[in-house]
Amino acid sequence: MPVNYYIFLSIALFCIGIAGVLTRRNAIIIFMCIEIMLNAVNLMLVAFSKMHHLKNAAVDATAGSDGQIFVFFIMVVAAAEVSVGLAIIVMMYRNIHSVDVNFLNRLKH
Amino acid sequence: MNALLLSAVLGVIMMFSGIMLKQKSSVRNIAIAGMGLLLLVNILEMNGAVFFKIDVRGMIVFDRFALLFDTIVFISTLLYLILSARDMEKVGIHYADFFALIFFILCGITLTSSFKSLLILFLGIEIISIPLYILTGSDKRNLKSNEASLKYFLLGAFSTGLMLMGIALIYGTKGSFDTIKLNTFTQAPDLLLIAGMTLLLFSMSFKVSAAPFHFWTPDVYDGAPTVFTSFMATIVKAAVFIAFIRLFDEAFGLLQSQWQLLVAIITVATLIIGNITAVFQQSVKRMLAYSSIAQAGFMMLSLYAMNTDAKEGLLLYTAAYSLATIGIFAVLIKMSDYTFDGFNGFARQQPLLAATTTIFLLSLAGIPLTAGFLAKFYMLKAALGTGKHLWLVIFAVLMAAVSVYYYFRVIQAMYFKEGNAPLVHVTPVFKWTMIVLAALVILLGIFPNLLLNWYYF
């Protein structure tokens, strides 16, 4: 399958993520949309990695492997970010019993 | 390499010290001693004593620029800890963890100042950001702190997503994450590369709070506990700037004609929004948040110019801005009222602190004989050195004149207004550290070469 399809798919996913972040009001759903963005990037990196491998495999047997290693790092960092982010959302829920980001206007005055 | 490993180990040590030690003062002393050790090993590395030789496959290179920047950061952090570590006790009960998080942030800063691969850039930025989300929200019962933390987290994660997309697109065209390999091209740059570079530019502007991506900054800096705002607004911002300038110098230096105008526009927008909005603030803390946006606009000039003057200037600016702002925040933490009126009559109560604060404010405003003046001078000289866009330099000077207004409002309140600012209790160590800070600001304003010679020798 040509790499173009993967690129279009991941750009579509990425745009869905951005649209979600900008339009939704629920902190958890915004958070899910950010995860969709990160996973779109993962998909794109893997597709490009395969593309570079096919192109340069004759010269360098490990060509394109760095893209896949990057994906692992993104997964680990995303997991760390989830743990901190959910903790922050829970902290807010304990104080105001809501996860609606419309609440976030106390500082604007 | 010394500082990178030691800062991570110190972070773990601090986590354990919170369990082992009952006395808060001993935790604090360990943190300050560890910070001193970190500074020492970094200076040793500058003199050629590398304790660990690890094969990192060229992903991290500790060159002169990176090491000198790390030294400036460690000196600022050491002074920050001596001044403000006592005030962290008021924020929450997990006292040792705050120090652990600060050491982890320093670990991220050594990565962002020395990366040669986009992978390390990403990791460094995230290692800086994730502990900062926690520090911002560390005042758990305070709704403002919660709000600031959630806002910072959501927008920070969003900008990380943009940055990763940029990196992925660049990887698609170049097939490598290595900044040196990215900077070699022969044919006309293609669309994917330009799109990736623009996404990286946007996400990095987001992290350094350059307009039009600055909107989170005042809210987050205002909502975070003041001790941590001091750290975020100075040291962390400078560290992200160093990553920004390294990235665009090393990876996209050849594409300068493509991004220079865009950076000039961002610079102008940042200067105008930061300075004009700061004029209308009533709270000193919020004014300092906008002032940090305005100062970021000046630092953007170094990115725009990207020559030797710009690099020297950025080092000087980091030192001048961090030292002065840390000093002002250290005084601000002691106040009960953060508005301008809260400073009324402060000079009569605390003549020494008022005098040092005045020096810091003069430095931020860019008055000659302070480090802030020379830092701004280097930036403008670098921008003039490019020989293009003279209007940008003229505009920056005008905006520096606007900034005098809001900095002098604090001086006016301290010296020329009647009132009784609450009597703050400060230790002798605090006073001496403030004197050292003020002396450093003036010394760097007269002899900038004390700092910049380290870059070459």
CA B290 to chain centre: 14
The CATH code of the domain that includes A32 is 1.10.287.3510
A41: nearest CA partner in chain B: B165
Question: Hey, are the CB atoms on B149 and A30 less than 8 Å from each other?
Answer: no
pLDDT at A109 > cutoff 70: no
Would you state the pLDDT for residue B293?
94
Candidate from A31, A48, A70 with C-beta closest to B172: A48
CA B149 to chain centre: 18
Interface contact B175, partner A, CB < 8 A: yes
The residues, any chain, with a CB within 8 Å of residue B363's CB and separated by 6 or more, are B320, B323, B324, B370, B371, B372, B373, B441, B445
Interface contact A17, partner B, CB < 8 A: yes
Interface contact A107, partner B, CB < 8 A: yes
Candidate from B119, B123, B157 with C-beta closest to A34: B157
Tell me the pTM. Answer: 0.94
How many angstroms separate the CA of residue A38 from the nearest CA in chain B? Answer: 6
Are B72 and B319 within 8 A, CB to CB? yes
Residue A108 lies in a domain: no
The residues, any chain, with a CB within 8 Å of residue A61's CB and separated by 6 or more, are none
Q: What is the interface pTM, i.e. ipTM, of the complex?
A: 0.95
How many angstroms separate the CA of residue A1 from the nearest CA in chain B? Answer: 17
- Count of A–B CB contacts within 8 Å? 114
3-class secondary-structure state, position B23: coil
Q: Which residue has the tokens 């809501």?
A: A98
Amino acid residing at B83: L
Is the peptide bond prior to B422 cis by the omega test (within 30 degrees of 0)? no
Are A82 and A32 within 8 A, CB to CB? no
Question: Hey, are the CB atoms on A37 and B161 less than 8 Å from each other?
Answer: yes
Interface contact A34, partner B, CB < 8 A: yes
Cα dihedral: B383, B386, B390, B394 (round 10)? 10
Nearest to B312 by CA among B265, B268, B377, B369: B377
Residue A94 domain boundaries: 3-102
Would you state the pLDDT for residue B346?
87
Are B256 and B363 within 8 A, CB to CB? no
- Rounded to the nearest 10 degrees, what angle do helices B191-207 and B143-174 cross at? 160
Name which of A34, A46, A56 to mutate to probe chain B: the one with the most chain B Cβ atoms within 10 A of its Cβ.
Answer: A34
Q: Higher pLDDT residue, A109 or B105?
A: B105
Are B172 and A48 within 8 A, CB to CB? yes
Determine the Cα–Cα distance for residues B189 and B241; give it in Å rounded to an integer. 25
pLDDT at A96 > cutoff 80: yes
Would you state the pLDDT for residue B335?
86
Would you state the pLDDT for residue A106?
67
Interface contact B454, partner A, CB < 8 A: no
How many angstroms separate the CA of residue B178 from the nearest CA in chain A? Answer: 10
pLDDT block averages, 10 residues each, chain B of length 457: 92 93 91 95 90 86 92 95 90 90 96 94 96 93 90 94 95 89 75 91 94 90 93 93 92 86 93 93 93 93 90 92 94 88 87 93 93 93 88 93 93 87 82 94 92 83
| Tally of CB atoms within 10 A around B23 | 8
HSE, side-chain direction, 13 A CA sphere, residue B231: 31
Determine the Cα–Cα distance for residues B183 and B116; give it in Å rounded to an integer. 12
Residue A26 lies in a domain: yes
Band (pLDDT 50/70/90 cuts) for residue A108 is low
Identify any residues that bridge with B178 across adjacent strands, giving them in sequence order. Answer: B117
Residue A109 lies in a domain: no
Candidate from B161, B176, B222 with C-beta closest to A107: B222
Interface contact A45, partner B, CB < 8 A: yes
Long-range contacts of B69-72 (CB under 8 A, 24+ apart): B69/B113, B69/B238, B69/B239, B69/B242, B69/B315, B69/B318, B70/B3, B70/B42, B70/B109, B70/B110, B70/B113, B70/B114, B71/B39, B71/B42, B71/B43, B71/B46, B71/B454, B72/B238, B72/B315, B72/B318, B72/B319, B72/B322, B72/B451
Interface contact B195, partner A, CB < 8 A: no
Question: Hey, are the CB atoms on B146 and A88 less than 8 Å from each other?
Answer: yes
Are B323 and B233 within 8 A, CB to CB? no
Would you state the pLDDT for residue B253?
85
Are A85 and B157 within 8 A, CB to CB? yes
Burial A94-105 (b: 16+ CB within 10 A, else e): eeeeebebebbe
Would you state the pLDDT for residue B185?
67
Residue A107 lies in a domain: no
Interface contact A77, partner B, CB < 8 A: yes
Question: Hey, are the CB atoms on A34 and B158 less than 8 Å from each other?
Answer: yes
Question: SS in 3 state form for B425-440?
Answer: CCCHHHHHHHHHHHHH
Q: Supply B111's token pair.
A: 């990565």
Question: Hey, are the CB atoms on B122 and A34 less than 8 Å from each other?
Answer: no
How many angstroms separate the CA of residue B204 from the nearest CA in chain A? Answer: 17
| Count of domains forming chain A | 1
Q: What backbone torsions phi and psi does residue B63 show, to the nearest 5 degrees?
A: -95, 180
Q: Supply B216's token pair.
A: 């989170």
Determine the Cα–Cα distance for residues B180 and B253; give it in Å rounded to an integer. 10
